[in-house]
Structure 1
């Protein structure tokens, strides 16, 4: 059964004008129809692959949320920030960690509680004033006076949350803070 209908259409593939014999014709030729089919097939494969990737990410995310202790990579994926930012938070003493060899472990509840604190509170912390050079030790002076290595000294400073002051090329620490720590250890 043939049709005597002649409809002017624009091809979906090549955008050229053609005369169609049915109301459902979309393409001007077999070549354009084949191109469109291949493009639809290719796009379907891409969409399927993207969906599989997204479902894998969600499953990974759910596995991370189920764990009580996570490493830095998992924490960065969970929160959506870089690993370096997580390490900066750790260096500032804002996140508690546990070390197992070279591996750094964070409690998920600590991470969540850190990000639940309003940012204004953390910004409005009182800044300790510089006590003056006569009331401060340089890092070298502390090492010489108390016989401690640079790495151990920085760990003590970080662990106790002691404020360091950078002036020029030197780092200074208040004498009263250091004396309290090291005199308490000598006793």
Structure 2
């Protein structure tokens, strides 16, 4: 089936304007297509060669990545910081180590855990049960009642660690939590 459409395109390789017969044509000719393929192949070979060179420069780095326990020298190579900095982190008590005679060994999981974010108290709280529709506001009701923007409300809920409940297509927040934040009196009797 031949196409009768004519689309003006710009060749991805030579950047010249040409008339394409399909919507997926990228190159103006077979010559440009071949040259683009060769260029992509060449770039991938160069990138692979550079990666192999980096591995050859730092052969210990690949070995260190697989070990469960590493020395201070290996940790400094892995992180790209000095040995003295690692010893300072150890002396402050921020990193746990084991000593075998004069040799100091660091567990790889402790080193990875050193850079992870600590858990906040709000993440450690148990999940609250849904109090019921009559004891909750929708997000829109809160915005209208207290005159707050959607972004402001979102940040307020995040900052105070207030639980949100999704029921159907609506998000609900407990009235008592919102009333405490806005110092509003709960007019409804519970």
Normalising TM by the smaller chain, what interval? 0.3 to 0.5
TM-score normalised by length of structure 2: 0.39
Find the structure with the greater CA-based Rg.
1
TM-score normalised by length of structure 1: 0.40
Higher relative CO (CA 8 A, sep ≥ 6), structure 1 or 2?
Answer: 1
Q: Per residue, is there more helix in 1 or in 2?
A: 1
